Every structure is written in C-alpha cells, then in structure tokens.
Structure 1
C-alpha cells in the first residue's frame, strides 16, 4: 500500500466509524464529540503504528512530543475536524490524514463522511470553473476573520460561512466556494491534509502573505491560510496589503 493509498483508506474508514457512532444515537452533545475524537484518534494511531512504524506522528488529539522532530516523515492528522458540526448533526466536518516529508505537505486525504466524499492527493479532482457571479469567500461560521471583510469589500465577494477547515478547503474543489481564507489561529493538523490535496489539484495553498506552508516544526501553530485558484491569490493578497 502506498502512502497515498494508506491515507485514503484511513480517512474513509475513520469517517465510517464516526458516522456509525453518531447514527447509533447513544451519545449526544459534548459526550458525542469526546467519544468521536478519542475513538477516531486511537484507531488512526494504531493503524499508522502498524503500517508505518518508523514514521513520526502529530495528532490534534495526542500529547505532542519532540520525538517527531527527529523524523523526516511525519503523519499529521486531525481525526475529527469540526467536532462542533459533528455533534450538531451537520455535514461540514472532516477527517484529515496527511504525510509531511521534509516539512512539505507531500500526501493528503480529506474525507467529508456525511457528504460521502473523499479527496486524495494521488487522484485530485478537476477544479470547477469559477461562476460568473461574485466571488464566494469561505470563512468560519463561528469566527470569521476581520481580514475576510477587507477582501470581500475590495473584491466585491460574498462571505460563505461553513464549518470545519477541511470542509471549507474542499468546497473550493467541489465548486461551492472560490477562496478559503483563514486568519487568527490554526495548527498544522488543521490544514496539512487540505493543503496537500489542494496543491495536488493545482490550487494555491500558502500563508496569507504567499509564504509556503511548512510542517513538522517545533511549534505546530500555523495561524493563517489561503487556498484558492492561482489567479486569485494575487488579488486577495493585494486586498490584504
């Protein structure tokens, strides 16, 4: 099994587990989110340790240690991206499985289980044509950044609130949004898998200032992100300058 195949299998099967837990109806609210995070994380960690025992791992749901910094290959995972949306019965949550090699987002798979969609970096979809209407700017439905208002005003774009980072990033590939802009705080597990998939599809995936995304750093915070077609990156960055 290649790294990309492993990422895809893990993302898909983890999503199926999370759907089954939610469908059972035995847990609700915070308890559902805690169980989903914990069970998904344990499953992914056990599978990675069995399939890639010599690689490092960075997971949102596990205590981080400096040991991963000794590895060139590090799996960066978010077992349940969008726990709030998952608990609320929404569809805009995701599973992120990524492999960083020498600090780059080399391999990624993003599952949107409630939508029945799986994105993988070894089989990227074609990016849909931009619509003729206003640009659609994907932002957090609970914490939209002030930078988004500036870009929307400059480019006459409309804001499209959505849940998890993975759901917003993949909305650009689904054609339900044009630009995903985030500022104000993320971690490597929030965007490594979406960035790997976006880059494989030919999209721009950078920091807001155009700097490349770097992974497996001592501090896993990665505060801002821009995913969009390459031709839109310049206008967005100009609006932010």
Structure 2
C-alpha cells in the first residue's frame, strides 16, 4: 500500500483538534453520576468511554478513511494489520480515576506507521494540559516545546507497584515513591516534564495505553522500553506488552529493569496470550 498523502504534522493537527472535542464531551460526564460497569477483564468502563470512542471513530475515520482503527472500546478486526497507518485510541485513559473524580485522566490518541508511533496526543482536559509530538518534530506542552525540568538535588521520584518497590528497595536504590496517576499515558509523559524521574508499567499494557506517550517520550529523548524486548512495537496481532520502563536517568536502568524482570518475568513467545480477532 502506498504512503498516505498526509504528513505526520497534519496527522498530529487532526489528533489535537479531535482530542480537544473529545475532552469537551468527556468533561460533560466528569464528576457526575456516570453509568459504569466492568468488562470481562475486570477493568472499568463508563458510558463516557463509549460515547467518546464513537465520536473519535466517526471523526478520525472520516478524515482518514484509508487508515486502520484500534481502540480500547471498539471490537478489533484484522483489517488494521494491512494498513500502513493506523489510529490507536484510548478515549478515556484512567477510567477508574475519571469515575472517582480524579483529574489526571486523559484522551490518548496516536497514529502508528509500520509499527512505530509517528504522531501522538495525551490530553488531560481537567488539568488543561495538552502533550503532543510528531516524528522528527519535537514534543510540546500546550503548544510550547516540552523540555524536562531537572529535579537537581532531589531523590529520584518513581511510582511503581508495591512488589516493584520492594525489589528496588532490596537492591539499595535511594529514591522516593511517586504519585501513581491512574492514567498510564499521563504517568509516562511526566517523565518528560520532570515531575517524575521514572515510570513503570506492569506486564500486560496494551497498545492504546502507551502508543501516544511513546512518541512524546521519544521526541524528548526519554528512554522507553519493554524490559525484555526493547522499544515497543505497535499494531501487531498481539497487543500486549511486557513490563515497561520510562527513564530520564539511565543510571536507574539496571535496578529498575531488574526489579521489573524479577516481579513479572520475561515471557516466552509461546506464553503470550494472543488476541482473538473476529
């Protein structure tokens, strides 16, 4: 299939305008009596997730009908695997926090080309924070170049699951526990801002959880890897990733990666639960 006519920068502008509109829709349900239920995997979903997802699918696919589509709230199909570019969407990342009334939930949108993110937006409407990036074009926060603010003289600030904290502490790492924002995408991009020095994800994160954050981290020079497989690849038949780490300070890598491997392991290919596409 030939390359799409649109540039990565044009795709980013589409993501930005769509994320703002999606944020307005989602905000109409925020801190209200929203209907919510659990999916088969015990993760929560709300009526806002579904409504925002439908809006984004209609808007983005109308603008780019030749792209593939992958969203947390849409039934997956194999069609996307044959597309050179694919939208990867989480209409509300951090649904648990959204339902509880916490303000760090995000709209997370990305365009994937040949397995790599080339444009992405992580938008936190309740905090009025728009993080965006496109390949080779740098990253921005609310339209200004995103540059990490150094936390000089402070201990590294790292949020992590309890078992990972235990391993890092046992290895002698001197650090502080960071805030565990419910939105994984938001947590990851805080390594780019300097609010966090590292952020990790347990094994099992899916493409829509991390794709938009991945391009923002890449464009700010932050290392982001599956601790067993290296830089994550996207829009494959298998959507799940191993344990992940975003690191601003590479001196943290040996201990953080080792802790994640100790807790979650490195699965053999045969052990990975493959997605059933229907």
Instruction: Please report the TM-score for the alignment, with normalisation by the length of structure 2.
Output: 0.78
Verify the 8 A CA contact 2:247 2:253 in the aligned structure 1. no
Give the equivalent residue in structure 2 for 1:204: 223
Q: Distance in 2 between matches of 1:222 and 1:145?
A: 20
Give the equivalent residue in structure 2 for 1:53: 65
Q: How does 1:1-241 map to 2 (within 5 A)?
A: 2-22=10-30, 25=32, 27-28=33-34, 30=36, 33-122=45-134, 123-124=139-140, 125-139=146-160, 144=161, 146-154=163-171, 155-160=173-178, 161-209=180-228, 211-229=230-248, 231-232=250-251, 234-235=253-254, 236-237=256-257
**Residue deviations 1:52-82, cap 9 Å, x none?**
0000010000001111111121111100001
Equivalenced residue count is: 235
Residue ranges of structure 2 left out of the alignment (5+ in a row)? 1-8, 38-43, 141-145, 262-278
Structure (1 or 2) with the greater helix fraction: 1
Residue ranges of structure 1 left out of the alignment (5+ in a row)? none
> How far off its partner does 1:110 sit?
0.3
**Residue deviations 1:101-134, cap 9 Å, x none?**
0001111100011111000014330111133121
Moved >4 Å (runs of 4+): 238-241
Report SS of the residue matched to 2:30: helix
Verify the 8 A CA contact 1:210 1:237 in the aligned structure 2. no
> How far off its partner does 1:212 sit?
1.3
